[in-house]
């Protein structure tokens, strides 16, 4: 059986790909996660019935954790004019909702939420 540790749900934005890969590497997850990049991450997940994408990862690779990663100045949210703290707050609502859906359907999953600033700083949210 082919298994991996985690599934990462994040945005497609080119600016965040390298910092995210580096952050996951620092966590020791390099080469050990499925990767789903959709514009707006949770927003897209919630709007489009994309649960099956993560459930495919569960089914095929028995993942134990999901990382939902959002970022500053996300075009899918169009909040770039707002202070970054406000951007985070508004995106966090969707992230929590996505996490709740995942946990309800798959109680064994650990769901982590994180937010990437464009200076490369990542904060984990709870």
DSSP code per residue over 12-74:
--HHHHHHHHHHHHHTT-TT-EEEEE-TTTHHHHHHTTTHHHHHHHHHHH---EEEEEEETT-
Residue number with CB closer to Zn ion (13 or 34): 13
Residue number with CB closer to Zn ion (5 or 17): 17
Distance CA 50, CA 67 (A): 15
The site for Zn ion, by CB under 5 A, has a size of 3
13 touching Zn ion, by CB under 5 A = yes
**Six token digits for residue 116:** 């990437």
Q: Which of 8, 9, 11, 38 binds Zn ion (CB under 5 A)?
A: 11
Residues in contact with Zn ion, shown as a per-residue x/- string from 59 to 78 under the rule CB under 5 A = ---------------x----
Contact footprint for Zn ion (CB under 5 A): 11, 13, 74
């Amino acid at each position: 059986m082919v298994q991996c540790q985690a599934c990462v749900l994040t945005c497609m934005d080119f600016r965040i790909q390298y910092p995210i890969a580096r952050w996951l590497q620092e966590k020791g997850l390099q080469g050990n996660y499925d990767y789903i990049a959709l514009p707006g991450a949770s927003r897209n997940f919630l709007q489009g019935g994309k649960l099956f994408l993560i459930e495919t990862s569960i089914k095929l690779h028995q993942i134990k954790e999901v990382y939902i990663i959002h970022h500053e100045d996300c075009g899918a949210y169009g909040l770039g004019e707002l202070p970054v703290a406000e951007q985070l707050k508004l995106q966090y609502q969707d992230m929590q909702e996505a996490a709740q859906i995942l946990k309800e359907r798959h109680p064994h999953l650990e769901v982590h939420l994180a937010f990437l600033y464009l200076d490369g700083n990542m904060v984990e949210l709870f």
